[in-house]
Amino acid sequence: MGTVTLGVSIAVPEPYGSLLQERRAGFGDPAAHGIPTHVTLLPPTEVDAARRPEIEEHLAGVAAAGRSFPMRLSGTGTFRPLSPVVYVQVVEGSAACGRLQERVRAADGPLARELQFPYHPHVTVAHGIAEEAMDRAYAELADFEAAWTATGFALYEQGEDCVWRLQREFAFGAPSATSSSSPSSLPLPQQPTFSRPPAPSL
């Protein structure tokens, strides 16, 4: 059956997901429209296609043991010069994301793997593009804000065209004690805010 490349992530909901994807494209990132806006739990991982049922069973178990938690994005950060990435920061929910990704990559599970860098939850908005464009992304999204309740995560597969496609969603098994499992349980601003008007797309 060969191999497939899989990833596991928490999707950034609308309207924020599409807005950040369009901004990423506007900064000149050619990968923007092939990558749904997300917070990574498992980076691109090549696996034997025959193990898909086992992998999905594992992820279903991780989700069933999980519970909803608040997520909030605020401002920008960068991994430069170590890695050519500008991102929107996860300022609430990072600890919960950290615990989740550890369970996804559990040593006794089908997705066990080491990470190239220590886990740091974030939302990429520019990757591997010109430094000037990276600087724009960092500055123009500096006042970006978004909040929602994470109620699960999803499995994606990368096609031969390098586009990531949703394969299956996994809902958490229990709502948190302090928040509803509804994605709209936290107040969301009508529009994400910026320190200046968004620049036109390139």
Which CATH number is 3-171's, of 3.30.420.40, 3.30.70.141, 3.90.1140.10, 3.40.47.10?
3.90.1140.10
In this structure, the strands spanning 69-78 and 85-92 are: antiparallel
Q: Are strands 164-171 and 152-158 parallel, antiparallel or unpaired?
A: antiparallel
Give the confidence band of 189 by pLDDT, cuts at 50, 70, 90: very low
Q: Going by C-beta distance under 8 Å and a sequence separation of 6 or more, which residues neighbour residue 118? A: none
3-class SS of residue 101: helix
Predicted confidence at residue 181, as pLDDT, reads 34
| Domain definitions of the chain by residue range | 3-171
pLDDT of 131 strictly over 70: yes
Tell me whether residue 150 is exposed, middle or buried, using C-beta atoms within 10 angstroms of its C-beta: 0 to 12, 13 to 18, 19 or more: buried
3-state DSSP: the chain helix, strand, coil percent, rounded to 5? 25, 35, 40
Predicted confidence (pLDDT) per residue in 88-98, tens digit: 999 999 999 99
User: Is residue 174 very low, low, confident or very high in pLDDT (cuts 50, 70, 90)?
Assistant: low
Q: Find, among 125, 120, 122, 111, the residue nearest to 44 by Cα.
A: 111
- Rounded to whole angstroms, the Cα distance separating 36 from 55 reads 21
Q: Is 57 helix (H, G, I), strand (E, B) or coil?
A: helix
CA distance 180 to 186: 9
> Is residue 27 predicted with pLDDT exceeding 70?
yes
The reported pTM is 0.84
Question: Is the CB of residue 156 less than 8 Å from the CB of residue 9?
Answer: yes
State the pLDDT confidence band at 4, using cuts at 50, 70 and 90.
very high
Strand-pair category, 3-11 with 69-78: unpaired
